[in-house]
Amino acid sequence: MFSLESLPPPKTIVSAAASLTASAILFRTIASDLIPTEYIKTLFKRLSAQLTIVIDESDGLTPNQLFEAANIFLATKLSPSTHRIKAIKAEKDDELTVTVDRNQPIIDFFESIQCTWVLQTEVIESDQNTKSEHKFFELCFHKKHKEVILKKYLPFVLKKSVEMKNEKKAVKLHTVDYYNGLDYWSPVVLNHPATFDSMAMDLDKKIELLEDLDMFVRRKEYYRRVGRAWKRGYLFYGPPGTGKSSLIAAMANYLKFDVYDLDLKEVRGNSDLRKILVGTKNRSIIVIEDIDSCGVGLQNRDGENDSPNSNDDDDKISLSGLLNFVDGLWSSCGDEKIIVFTTNHKERLDAALLRPGRMDVQVEMSYCSYGGFKVLASTYLQVKEEEKVELFGEIEGLLKKVEVTPAEIAGELMKKSEDVEIVLGNLIRWLQKKETST
C-alpha cells in the first residue's frame, strides 16, 4: 500500500529533478551539435504522412507557368486568418491586384482534400558576393492523394487562373506599324464601351452570334480532333451606320480578345501579309473592314490581269494571297483566332471568299428595328416602353415605314434636351420628315 512515509525526502526529489533537467539540456545541446537541424526536419518529413510539392518561380531563365497560376488563383482563397497580403496597382489598371505574401498558409479544399499552400523565399548568395531571392510555393497534402493533386487539382488551378486573368485583361487594339521593329503591330488600350446589351441589333441574331462565340471558345479539343485550325471567320455586312464596328468591339469585350485592325491598303504585298499574320497572338480578333474596297488585286485570284513582269509579292495583295491568309497553311499560325470581315456591299465580294471555312458566319446588319430602338432608348435615355407607351407606339409605326440606321437614331437621341418626352417628340418629327421625303 502506498504511503507518504515511503517517499524519499523532498531534498532528494528536488536534487533528482534538477539532475534530470540538466541531463535533458545536455542531451539537446549535444544532439543539436552533432545532428544538423535540416536532417531532423528531413527525418520528420519522411515519417510524416504529408507530401510536399515544390513549385519554383522559374526553371532557370524560363518562368514557371504554374507558379504564376498559383499566385493568381490563391488571391481568391485569402481568409480572415491571413495576416499579410500584397497589393499591387499597375498604371493602366483600374483596380488593385491582391496577391499572397510569404510565410502565410493558404488552405484550399479540392474534392474534400485539404491543400495547404505557403509562399516561401530564400536568399541565394553567388560566388561574386551578390544575393538573389528565390521564390517558391510549397503545396502540402496527404500523400495518398498524390495522383488526384497532380492530374486534377493542379490542372484545375491552371485553368482557373487563365479564366481569372482573362476577366481582368485590358483589351488592346493593334494597328500595323512598319516602324515598330520586327513586331509590325503597335498596341493601345481599347476603351470602346460597346457590349452585346447595348447593341441595337435583332435579338435573335444577337443570341445566335453569342451562342456561336461560346461554342467556338470551348471547342479546342474538337478542332484538334477533326484536324482543323482553331479559328472562325465572320462577315458583317450592311449599310454604313448599322453597327458593324461596334459589334466587333462588343465581341472583343465579351471574349477579352485583343483586336488586330488590318488595313489591306497599307500592306505591301503577300509576303508582308504573312509576316503580319504571324505577329498576331492567340485569343485575338483580326479585323479587315470594307473588304470590297481594300485593293485591286483581290478581284484576281490567279494574277491574270497582272503584267508579265509583276511579282505577287511586289506591291499588292492578290486574292490567292488573301485566301491563304484566311484558310491556308499560314492561317494555322496560332490558336483561338477570329477573323472578321466587314462590307457595305456583299454582292461585290468574290464567291471564293464567302464559302464556309473562310466566312463561317454571315451576319446582316440591317436598318434599325423597333427592338433595336428600345435598346437605344434604354441606353441613351434610360427609359423603357411601359413608361412612354404612346410615344413608343408611334415610333414603332414609323420604323416600319422608314429605313434609318441605329447610328442615325442614336444621333437624334443625343440632341438638344435631357427631357425624355422632348427628345422622343423630336425623334418622331424627324422620322415623319424622313417618311414624307421618301
pLDDT digits (tens, 9 = 90+) for 173-223: 998 877 665 567 888 888 898 999 989 888 889 999 999 999 999 998 898
What average pLDDT does range 370-392 have in this prediction? 90
What pTM, to 2 d.p., does this model score? Answer: 0.66
More confident: 297 or 406: 406
pLDDT (0 to 100) of residue 394: 93
pLDDT exceeds 50 at position 281: yes
Nearest to 233 by CA among 302, 291, 297: 291
Q: Which of 65-69, 165-169, 311-315, 395-399 has the lowest mean pLDDT?
A: 311-315
More confident: 154 or 37: 154
Residues of the chain with pLDDT > 70: what percent?
Answer: 78
- Give the separation between CA 177 and CA 263, rounded to whole angstroms: 11
Q: Which of 61-70, 160-169, 380-389 has the lowest mean pLDDT?
A: 160-169
* Greatest alpha-carbon span in the chain: 126
Q: Which of 10-14, 262-266, 304-308 has the lowest mean pLDDT?
A: 304-308
Q: Which of 105-109, 344-348, 402-406 has the lowest mean pLDDT?
A: 344-348
More confident: 129 or 241: 241
What average pLDDT does range 66-95 have in this prediction? 79
More confident: 314 or 359: 359
Domain map (residue ranges) of the chain? 4-46, 50-168, 172-364, 370-437
- Give the separation between CA 242 and CA 238, rounded to whole angstroms: 7
| Average pLDDT, rounded, for the chain | 81
pLDDT (0 to 100) of residue 195: 92
Pairing verdict, β 58-59 and 62-63: antiparallel
pLDDT (0 to 100) of residue 303: 43
Residues 353, 291: contact at Cβ < 8 Å? yes
pLDDT (0 to 100) of residue 42: 60
Residues 427, 391: contact at Cβ < 8 Å? no
pLDDT (0 to 100) of residue 301: 45
Residues of the chain with pLDDT > 90: what percent?
Answer: 37
pLDDT (0 to 100) of residue 307: 42
Residues 55, 136: contact at Cβ < 8 Å? yes
What average pLDDT does range 355-382 have in this prediction? 90
H/E element holding 109? strand 106-110
What average pLDDT does range 385-407 have in this prediction? 91
Which three cell numbers mark 350? 468574290
Q: Which of 65-74, 98-107, 349-358 has the highest mean pLDDT?
A: 65-74
Residues 276, 268: contact at Cβ < 8 Å? no
pLDDT (0 to 100) of residue 349: 85
Render pLDDT for 297-355 as a digit per residue (tens, 0 to 9).
Answer: 454 444 444 443 444 445 567 777 777 777 766 566 668 899 999 999 888 888 888 88
pLDDT exceeds 60 at position 147: yes
Q: Residue 123 — very low, low, confident or very high, per pLDDT cuts 50/70/90?
A: confident
Q: Which positions ≥6 away from 16 have C-beta within 8 Å?
A: none
* CATH no. for 172-364: 3.40.50.300
Residues 264, 294: contact at Cβ < 8 Å? yes
Which three cell numbers mark 133? 531571392
